[in-house]
């Protein structure tokens, strides 16, 4: 670091002022989310290369990154090879074997090395037992290893390799104190954690594996504490007094209007919701239920109670097809009570839109069902009392806030068919209370699931033809839309269009086969879906656009091509599209992937229909990154903590965060200033506090 910067350095100093960075490298750092010196210091290593456990040449594992200790025996000179690249070679050896070393376009690598000296070479060993080689190895001396035995490897980006990131961070380590100490002294003592500056220095340049582990523990704890505090603050914000105070209503008249009896779980969830709506604060509740557990009925009861209290309600769905389906279904359930339902989506015609907007403004529409068109500026409610959001993972925390802003803190009910193990649910939706529907309504038969290879496709289509002959309908789901001309033919996915023409239509020649994909216009999609629901199509070839909530009770078979490409939770969602009527239903997972892990995953899905068990398995095998994806829940991406493996630390952080917020609900105390700033930074990057 240049001397004259010492006095002016702050955690918020842009990274471009660091020696050797400049605007171009700063842009690359930005791709990694690194803008300031604090961001850079908190860009932690993904793993380490341990130079203290070198292999002899003969024992080095082939085709695996490792460290080999050997003496440099000869420099074999450099030359220019075809294509204009320069190649330099050397030979190293130990008592038993020799190792050929090759560098491309790096003449300096060899210049620094002395014949007769022992070095540590890090890279991938290839070749046979007698002739081993390593290309572009990193080289360290014994002295270098003594001063830093573990070499950190960082998440990197194009044009910004781990080594460059390490060099930039090393310049900063003397300034780790810049970050301040956000954790209270008694908390550090209680959990025996090192201070922040020490932990940051230790994670980037650990003296040994134990030091790295201790530093990680401290930084994981801090990250989870900050996450919990942020969620707690959001909950506090959400717990504003409601502008829609309601009296407690007995749901009996609603239940009696139904042609069937609700499940115990549905009654329980409705009781929890109605109690919340009669409370002083605005309700913030997540209604979690497996596919087909009857969430819409629970939402209908809540909407009914809200309208009985003299307020309007809104229901937000992720797609037009689904919004239309909800409007029809809710109209059926609520019509006996004279409740007026309006539908508002992106494709509502201008004249109809004006009339609908006037009805919403003038309190002539009791329930408005729509897509995120409801969030647009010109939708004004006369008195919005309840907002229901369907399929939460399609809406971030931000959209929840936008809808809540339509009323002065209306009650909020979020419905999700993505089962999440309860402990994780409490964390991810920490700003919401949770109701779980854990019973299927009577008359729903569990779907039978089978795995098949592509070689049995003809046989499978024979089965589909027989099902259609018996009056049933079938879904066939494929992952991609158009074939990629650049993709190798054996890896090319079953493109929906090609598949539709060459497979589905060819193997079901006398059946009515429809095609549905994301590139169709909303109107075209709606038409295909309407035809399928009305029984005018026997089979529907589709991408995953049918995943969410579409209800066709007559569909009894779901075929999923290239099933290995989906997470189990996504497959489970797709499977839930069938089994909605009384007929026996099937789901076929078609995959030619022979990998053991893939086969194990698909077989697991065949063995259970419990969405919570599926979610737990998915989380354990794929990790929360794949499971949620930050786009889905609007919560911050964690840099160092792992929600699955750090649960003990998570529970400690949860209780400490609760205690801190009980004493200082808005983190305004001077001693919490640094913690509050970290919460703000973490959630600002995720857009969750907007």
Virtual CA dihedral for 104, 110, 115, 117, nearest 10 degrees? Answer: -100
Strands 367-370 and 341-344, by their bridges, are: parallel
Angle between helices 611-628 and 596-607 (to 10 degrees): 140
Instruction: Quote the pLDDT of residue 330.
Output: 94
Please report which helix (H) or strand (E) contains residue 67, including its range. Answer: strand 65-81
Q: Answer whether 437's CB lies under 8 Å from 295's CB.
A: yes
Query: How far is Cα 530 from Cα 320, in angstroms, rounded to an integer?
Result: 12
Q: Could you give the C-alpha distances from 83 to 43, 49, 77, 79, 80, in angstroms and in order?
A: 37, 33, 18, 12, 8
Please indicate, yes or no, whether the overall pTM of this predicted structure exceeds 0.85. Answer: no
Instruction: Quote the pLDDT of residue 400.
Output: 56
Nearest Cα neighbor of 50 from 71, 68, 67 is 67
Instruction: Quote the pLDDT of residue 636.
Output: 65
Query: How far is Cα 581 from Cα 529, in angstroms, rounded to an integer?
Result: 17
Class of residue 453 by CB neighbours under 10 A (exposed 0-12, middle 13-18, buried 19+): exposed
**DSSP conformation letters of 28-57:** HHHHTT--BHHHHHT---SEEEETTSPBPT
Residue 275 CB: number of other CB atoms within 10 A? 11
Domains assigned to the chain: 54-147 (2.40.50.140), 252-437 (3.40.50.300), 448-609 (3.40.50.300)
**HSE of 666 in the Cβ direction (CA atoms, 13 Å)?**
4
Q: Answer whether 292's CB lies under 8 Å from 440's CB.
A: yes
Q: What is the mean pLDDT of each run of 10 residues along the chain (690 residues)?
A: 56 89 91 90 91 93 91 91 91 94 90 94 87 93 91 88 91 91 94 95 93 94 91 70 84 93 94 92 83 87 96 89 88 94 89 92 93 80 90 53 65 80 62 76 82 91 94 87 41 64 88 84 81 91 65 89 85 85 89 85 90 77 48 60 78 90 91 90 60
Instruction: Quote the pLDDT of residue 391.
Output: 67
Q: Answer whether 557's CB lies under 8 Å from 466's CB.
A: no
Helices (H), 49-172: 107-111, 142-147, 162-172
Q: Which residues contact 297 (CB under 8 A, 6 or more apart)?
A: 258, 262, 266, 333
């Amino acid at each position: 670091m240049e001397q004259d910067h010492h006095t002016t350095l702050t955690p918020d100093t842009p990274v471009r002022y660091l020696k050797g960075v400049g605007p171009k490298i700063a842009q690359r750092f930005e791709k990694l989310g690194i803008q300031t010196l604090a961001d850079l210091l908190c860009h932690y290593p993904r793993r380490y290369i341990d130079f203290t456990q070198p292999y002899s040449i003969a024992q080095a594992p082939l085709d695996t990154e490792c460290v080999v200790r050997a003496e440099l025996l000869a420099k074999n000179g450099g030359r220019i090879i075809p294509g204009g690249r320069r190649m330099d070679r050397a030979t190293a050896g130990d008592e038993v074997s020799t190792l050929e070393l090759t560098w491309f376009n790096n003449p300096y690598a060899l210049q620094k090395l002395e014949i007769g000296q022992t070095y540590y070479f890090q890279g991938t060993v290839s070749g046979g037992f007698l002739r081993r080689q390593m290309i572009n190895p990193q080289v360290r001396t014994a002295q270098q290893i003594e001063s830093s035995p573990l070499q950190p490897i960082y998440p990197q980006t194009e044009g910004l390799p781990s080594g460059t990131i390490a060099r930039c961070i090393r310049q900063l380590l003397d300034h780790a104190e810049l970050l301040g100490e956000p954790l209270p002294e008694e908390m550090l003592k209680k959990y025996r954690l090192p201070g922040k500056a020490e932990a940051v220095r230790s994670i980037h340049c650990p003296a040994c594996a134990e030091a790295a582990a201790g530093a990680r523990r401290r930084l994981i704890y801090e990250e989870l504490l900050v996450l919990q505090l942020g969620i707690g603050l959001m909950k506090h914000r959400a717990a504003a007094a409601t502008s829609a105070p309601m009296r407690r209503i007995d749901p009996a008249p609603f239940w009696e209007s139904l042609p069937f009896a609700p499940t115990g779980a549905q009654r329980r969830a409705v009781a929890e919701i109605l109690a919340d709506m009669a409370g002083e604060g605005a309700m913030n509740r997540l209604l979690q239920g497996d596919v087909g557990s009857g969430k819409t009925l629970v939402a209908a009861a809540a909407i009914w109670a809200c309208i009985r209290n003299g307020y309007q309600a809104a229901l937000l769905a992720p797609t037009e097809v689904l919004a239309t389906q909800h409007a029809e279904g809710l109209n059926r359930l609520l019509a006996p009570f004279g409740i007026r339902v309006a539908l508002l989506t992106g494709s509502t015609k201008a004249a109809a839109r004006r009339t609908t907007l006037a009805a919403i403004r003038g309190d002539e529409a009791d329930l408005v069902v729509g897509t995120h068109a409801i969030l647009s500026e010109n939708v004004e409610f006369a008195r919005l009392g309840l907002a229901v959001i369907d399929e939460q993972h399609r809406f971030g925390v931000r959209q929840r806030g936008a809808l809540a802003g339509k009323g002065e803190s209306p009650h909020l009910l979020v419905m999700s068919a993505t089962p999440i193990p309860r402990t994780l649910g409490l964390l991810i939706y920490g700003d919401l209370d949770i109701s779980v529907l854990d019973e299927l309504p009577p008359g729903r038969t569990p779907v039978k699931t089978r795995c098949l290879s592509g070689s049995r496709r003809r046989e499978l289509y024979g089965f589909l033809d027989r099902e259609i002959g018996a009056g049933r309908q079938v879904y066939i789901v494929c992952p991609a839309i158009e074939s990629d001309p650049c993709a190798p033919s054996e890896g090319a996915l079953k493109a929906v269009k090609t598949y539709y023409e060459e497979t589905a239509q060819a193997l079901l020649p006398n059946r009515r086969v429809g095609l549905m994909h994301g590139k169709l216009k909303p109107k075209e999609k709606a038409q295909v879906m309407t035809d399928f629901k009305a029984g005018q199509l026997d089979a529907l070839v589709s991408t995953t656009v049918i995943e969410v909530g579409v209800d066709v009770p007559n569909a009894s078979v779901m075929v999923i091509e290239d099933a290995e490409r989906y997470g189990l939770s996504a497959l489970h969602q797709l499977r839930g599209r069938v089994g909605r009527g009384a007929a026996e239903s099937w789901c076929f997972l078609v995959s030619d992937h022979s990998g053991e892990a893939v086969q194990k995953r698909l077989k697991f899905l065949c063995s259970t229909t419990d969405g919570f068990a599926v979610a737990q398995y998915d989380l354990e095998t794929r990790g929360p990154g794949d499971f949620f994806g930050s786009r889905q829940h609007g919560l911050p991406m964690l840099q160092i903590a792992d929600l699955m493996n750090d649960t003990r630390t998570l529970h400690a952080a949860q209780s400490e965060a609760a205690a801190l917020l009980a004493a200082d609900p808005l983190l305004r105390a001077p001693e919490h200033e640094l913690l509050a700033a970290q919460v703000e930074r973490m959630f600002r990057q995720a857009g969750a506090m907007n």
